Amino acid sequence: MSQTSIELQQSDRSKSHPEPESRLQPVPQLQLTEQPQHSHQLQQQNPLQPGQQQLLNTERQEKSVWVTPQRLFGLLLVFFIGIAILGLAYYLHHVLHTGSGNNAANVTPCVSTACQWAAARLSMSTDPFTQACDYFVSMCGSKRLQLKSKGRQRSHGILGHSQNPIERLAETDKQNKTERRRLREDTILSRKTLLLQYLRGILETNQSSSSSAVQKTKDFYHSCLDTRSLEAVGEEPFLRLIQKLGGWAVSGQWNRTDFNYTLGLLMREYGTFPFFNLYIGKDLNEASSNRTKRYIQIDQPDLLIPIEWNSQMQKSSAKTETLRPFLASCQSYLAFLGSPPSMRMLHVGTFISLSSELAVAASPLQYRLSKGQLYQRMTIRDLQSQAPAIDWLDCLQAAFHPLSLTEDDHVLLHNLPYIIQMSRIINKWLHKPEMSNSGILHTFMVLNLLHTLMPAMDSRFSETAKNFSLALGNIEEEVPRWKQCVLETERGFDSVLTHLLGETTARQETEEIIENVFFAFISKITDLRWKDQKSFQRFIDKVYSSPPRLLSSKEISNEDDLDLLFSEVTVSSSGFFTNYLQLLSLWQKRRSKLLAAQTEDADILSVAPSLVSNGLLFPMGMFVPPLFHPTYPKAMNYGAVGFLVAKDIFHLFLPEIYSHNLTMRAVGECVWTHYLKATEKAGQVRATNLSTAWQEEVWLQYSALQVALQAYHQSLSQNPADTSVSGLHHTQLFFRSFSQVSCDTDPDGESMPLDASFLIPVMCAESGLCPTSPQCSIKALQGKSQAC
């Protein structure tokens, strides 16, 4: 295994303090110590896209000690920056001056299959170097698209810490960055699509595996794709399941099963929570104490009936204009399940009545946050006394089997008034004499179970749900079946997919990019103008206490462990309904594991880094084609995924940078001034001044591009050899790769006031940086070279 350790040593802090608004000299230091490396050989991989050959596995390279989380101070950082400068000088002398333009004779072509595919993809994208300035008026040369709020589907996934909307809202409110967070989530969706395509290729490869867990994962995925079998069996599997639950009054056959017994069974075996939701997560009120304990968190449910909030009355209610289509959809479901026409209206009517009563007790997150109703702690015993209709200990014990719970255990409530009212409503319906034979509470639970199992039902059910969504005004893009199946597979077999993704990750090349970008980021922030030494030192301490790392191989289960973990799981290659029931059982095990675990499991579908307790964790899902491939030229990798790594690091630390940095506004205005000058002939009327948010984003992306390029130069100083694609010069290939990822994979929409590709002409205004000047030349427009 190759091993590179970066020893971080602490030196005495300088006793001198610069004047306010002065440029601070780097305080930290670092020492790079290269240790002997074993030789390694990467297997050639093919780009993994639908219909193309599976990427061959590459040998995984480990680093047992990558970045130690000690603080870095003093002269050794200056030493590192000196290395970077020498590397840049070497690059400029030996590479830039050897040729220019698209002269293929001066570059070594990359001939791997991945590069051939990348060259074809590059040929279909626009070259920003050859575009006139008017091109940059619109986003990527086309009409600017305004991001629209997308409709959200009711979640039927695992209600764990990563999906807890309470945590997301509280964090958003804490940072007061709601709009930026929404825009960031929109850009992340594009990256996630690439990851899902990559996982699709892994699941669809015909390569055999000796692991039974891997084979079960692939069988589950393929059974999900087999919609013909779903259509053939129709509603029969669900009707058999209803009989296992004691039948229901809709069919006239109901065994009057106990309410709490049925509720506990749905929670344990079928991942269904009709009357309240369960999450697993930390108490944000304990965030300052750095406690890692997780709690059961109880919240209002995702009701099937659409509800609306009256801000004047401060009360929710069923949305009146949606009652008719909601009624029609419920009647359709009962018809599909064989309910006699004479019985449908009675049961649908009582179902809507109960749903409407529960809706009145619900309230939106922002309202509950303002009223201090989130994270209310109480024991299970106290909860039982306040909401006695639910047997809380038995139900929670069922949901988190086999963990042992007691009445003295604490839970967190996110809407106690709803829980109390929900208990009263249940008691009322349980003891209504005229409803003693209708089993409305049981029917309510069965219809919620139907919604949980909707992905495993035939197309009549999904089409009905889609039509109801359209009636509500939700315009949602049709999700292809393969994408649904990859997502369903991940929910049950995430540890297997993590293992498979880890086997195809070129660890050494990936860690090198993260490492070089991280230290180029450090170099960049030490060169900024800070208000005072104290704020700079506090920020730099935070950065050095968050060393970057990739998910290590020790955190990924091996095949033997996976085979044991899934030994009791039986997967049929054709019966998706039965397989889906097993998936729900796997979800229950994950819930229990989340509650008992002291550390968070990595999210296999994550495509952006996160700050965790022991550093800056980068997901493997960031490093997939076409963003990254070990056989790509380094210029391509740094221009695409290197830029994304830099941008994500800036976004994570942005609040601290922006609140104390004095450079951000000047750089943002400089880039904007160039943009106005370059595009003034297009006749577009635009604001002469940027908003604070736009200044922030322009500076961030411009800085991230600078950091990625510096990291690439640092890589060349360590190993000057690099290949190319389409005969492009290395620097030009770097910028082409950046332009492509900005337009195709990581669009910024409303968060950027200009096309991100315009940053290329601005950077090329620096003398000698680009081998050829872009057609939209800042130097020609301004009469002088003026980089920002």
The answer to whether residues 542 and 525 touch, using CB atoms and an 8 Å cutoff, is no
CB-based contacts of 504, cutoff 8 Å, min separation 6 = 45, 55, 57, 58, 202
Token pair recorded at residue 605: 């579908």
Q: Which of 444, 267, 258, 263 is nearest to 355 (CA)?
A: 444
| pLDDT score for 781 | 62
Rounded to 5°, the CA angle 698-702-704 comes to 115
Q: Transcribe 703-749 into DSSP letters.
A: HHHHHHHHHHHHHHHH----EESTT--HHHHHHHHHHHIIIIIS--G
Show me where the domains of the chain are located: 272-457, 507-555+599-783
Instruction: Burial-class residue 730 by CB neighbours within 10 Å (0-12, 13-18, 19+).
Output: buried
Distance (Å, whole) CA 293 – CA 598 = 7
- Give the pairing type, strands 253-254 and 247-248: antiparallel
* Four-CA torsion 411, 412, 418, 421, nearest 10 degrees: 30
Distance (Å, whole) CA 643 – CA 711 = 10
Backbone angles phi, psi at 602, to 5 degrees: -70, 145
| pLDDT score for 109 | 95
| pLDDT score for 167 | 59
CATH number for the region 507-555+599-783 comes to: 3.40.390.10
Query: What type of residue sits at position 520?
Result: A
Q: In the chain, which stretches have pLDDT less than 50?
A: 1-79, 88-105, 143-162, 170-186
Token pair recorded at residue 495: 């540890």
Residue 264 to residues 52, 271, 678, Cα–Cα distance (Å): 46, 10, 66
pTM of the model: 0.80
Q: Which of 762, 786, 777 is nearest to 709 (CA)?
A: 762
The answer to whether residues 601 and 589 touch, using CB atoms and an 8 Å cutoff, is no
| pLDDT score for 224 | 96
Looking at CATH, the fold of the domain delimited by 272-457 is given as: Neutral endopeptidase; domain 2 (1.10.1380)
The three-class DSSP label of residue 438 is coil
Same fold, 272-457 and 507-555+599-783: no
Question: What's 366-416 look like in SS3?
Answer: HHHHHCCCCCEEEEHHHHHHHCCCCCHHHHHHHHCCCCCCCCCCEEEECCH
Q: What is the DSSP letter of 638?
A: I
Residue 466 to residues 225, 319, 331, 706, Cα–Cα distance (Å): 19, 18, 15, 46
Q: What is the CA radius of gyration of the chain?
A: 29
